[in-house]
Amino acid sequence: MERKIYGTDGRVLVSNKEKPNTREVAVVSIRNQWSSSPSKGLTPERLGRILKESEDGDVYRQSELFEEMEEKDTHLSSIMGTRKNAVLGLDWDIMPYSEDPMDVKKADFIRQAMELEGLEDALLDLLDAIGKGFSVTEIMWKLFNNQVWVDRLKWIHQKHFSFDHEDNLKVSTDDNYMGIYLEPNKFIVHRYKAKSGSTARAGVLRVCTWMYLFKNYSVKDWVVFAEVYGMPLRLGKYEPGVSQDDKQALIDAISSLGTDAAGIISKNTEIEFIDAIKGTANVFQTLATFCNSEMSKAVLGQTLTTEVGSKGSYAASKTHDEVRQDIKEADCKALAETIRRYLIKPLCLFNFGETNRLPWLKFHYEPSDDLEKSANTYKVLISDIGLPVSQDHVYEKFGVPKPKEGDTLIAPPTSTPLQDELETKSLKRIALKDQGLSSRHQLQVDELADKSLADVLSLVDKLIKPVTHLINTSTSLEEVRDRLAEIYQDMDNEELEDLIARAMFAADAFGRWTVNAGN
């Protein structure tokens, strides 16, 4: 018998053909008895073998190596955290596909469904794909009030996965070590591609592996150098024919002098102290700094925001931080697309029976400085020029939620500055007339000015018509700026100049007439 779940409107929400799998599929142990420490004693030969294994689809040791790299290298851990937090620190919202009531209803439901405990942690887990190429979380579904909701999102370590020859993921479970293919509508798979090719070779940590290895060599030698730096060389001398026991006693005495500064030796032996040559640690520091710089470039796209110090100023670092804006936007868009494909889509399928016209996740990644400049630009276009602008466009541009029915709205300006000036002058003239402070001639001059301003309104609309057309046909404010010079010749101001000249002539003639008439 077919089992169905009905909604309040009588529509089938879930049936045998479209119901979620509420059991856990990827049952794996957190602590694997076969886990190794590939970073321990890492050599170029071992690293080469690990990377070659991942190219063949086995990412077990590579995933463990990447994890240990973030744990052991403080600089790498810092820049990876910066990269991930650049996305996690942003506000986001669920936007409807359109203003259609059903699309809005879907968006409202998805917004509620994503208000689950541990969502920030789940997003952080998915962003682990930036370093390792991919990240997977299993969706634990639940049924509540005849609807399908997300109970929690369980992250699965990358070492439990492998790739087949077509780059499809398989997860190894406690019941199937060889791996099973991922079940549809059950997993969120976030892939990050630092470059084209297989997913196993796409993470930025793969680019950093060699710099990590060379830095480890440098730091190790640096520590050894620091341990013996400035200490004198202890050289023991013995006569020919000395027994092996005497030689060993001399070696033991030299070792004791290095730690205890005391020891005993035979009269037939001699110990000489040779001052150490004063060396420098700059070569080790230079190599370590170079490796850090290269890893910063790979992860952040620049170096100055992590290494301002003597390398540059704060202003320079801010400039480089702006260059990273494209990386932040790419991370936001990639994560939003993953959430839409692997979480929002099945939620709509299970609760609305369709996957068309899906809502989408919008991260507000626009820099605050750019928003302020854009706001001033829109203010000039709307208030000063009177250019009509779509409200939906402004809501999306600034990430402002669209008001709902019953909300108090801020009314947009309905008049131009010239019209406001005419109204202001008219009110002032009435006030002066009421107080007996205006003359008949002054009223006539004011009326002449008002009439001229009214005529100017139509001429200004005609004058800026090329500008309005340019704005309506351009795709960005930068394009408007670049093409303004091209349309300047199309802005005919001859009629405006003639009107101003005639108005000034009439005002001058009127003034002369009133003076000559003795008024």
37's tokens: 């420490």
Q: Which pLDDT score is estimated for 17?
A: 44
- Cβ count within 10 A of residue 271: 14
Residues 6+ apart with CB under 8 A from 152: 116, 117, 118, 140
Query: Dihedral sign, CA of 248, 249, 252, 254?
Result: negative
Distance, C-alpha 490 to centroid of its chain: 42
Q: In whole angstroms, give the CA distance from residue 207 to residue 211.
A: 8
Three-class SS state of 94: strand
Per the rule left: phi > 0, alpha: psi between -120 and 50, beta: everything else, 10 is left
Three-class SS state of 152: strand
Q: Which pLDDT score is estimated for 8?
A: 42
Q: pTM of the predicted model, to two decimals?
A: 0.62
Strand residue runs (E) in 341-447: 360-363
Per-residue pLDDT tens listing for the chain (519 residues):
334 544 444 444 444 446 888 888 877 765 555 667 888 888 999 999 999 999 999 999 999 999 999 999 999 999 999 999 999 988 999 999 988 999 999 999 999 999 988 899 999 999 999 999 999 999 999 998 889 999 999 999 999 999 998 999 999 888 888 889 999 999 999 999 878 888 989 899 999 999 999 998 888 888 877 766 656 666 677 677 777 887 787 777 777 665 555 555 555 566 565 555 555 557 888 888 999 999 999 888 876 555 554 444 444 444 444 447 889 999 999 999 999 999 999 999 999 988 889 999 999 888 766 677 778 787 777 877 777 878 777 777 777 777 777 777 766 555 555 555 555 555 555 554 544 444 556 666 667 777 776 677 777 777 777 787 778 888 778 787 777 777 777 777 777 777 777 777 777 777 777 766 654
Q: Which pLDDT score is estimated for 507?
A: 75
What is the number of H-type helices and E-type strands within the chain? Answer: 19, 12
Q: In whole angstroms, give the CA distance from residue 17 to residue 31.
A: 36
Question: In 3D, which of 136, 147, 199, 123 has the Cα closest to residue 171?
Answer: 136
Q: Which pLDDT score is estimated for 15?
A: 47
Q: Which pLDDT score is estimated for 411?
A: 63
Q: Which helix (H) or strand (E) holds 92?
A: strand 92-95
Burial class of residue 339 in the structure, from the number of CB atoms within 10 Å of its CB (0-12 exposed, 13-18 middle, 19+ buried): buried
Q: Which pLDDT score is estimated for 419?
A: 55
SS3 per residue for 285-329: HHHHHHHHHHHHHHHHCCCCCCCCHHHCCHHHHHHHHHHCHHHHH
For residue range 11-33, what is the model confidence (pLDDT) as tens digits? 444 444 468 888 888 777 655 55
Residues 6+ apart with CB under 8 A from 164: 57, 170
Question: In 3D, which of 509, 382, 506, 404 has the Cα closest to residue 455?
Answer: 506
Q: Which pLDDT score is estimated for 332?
A: 94
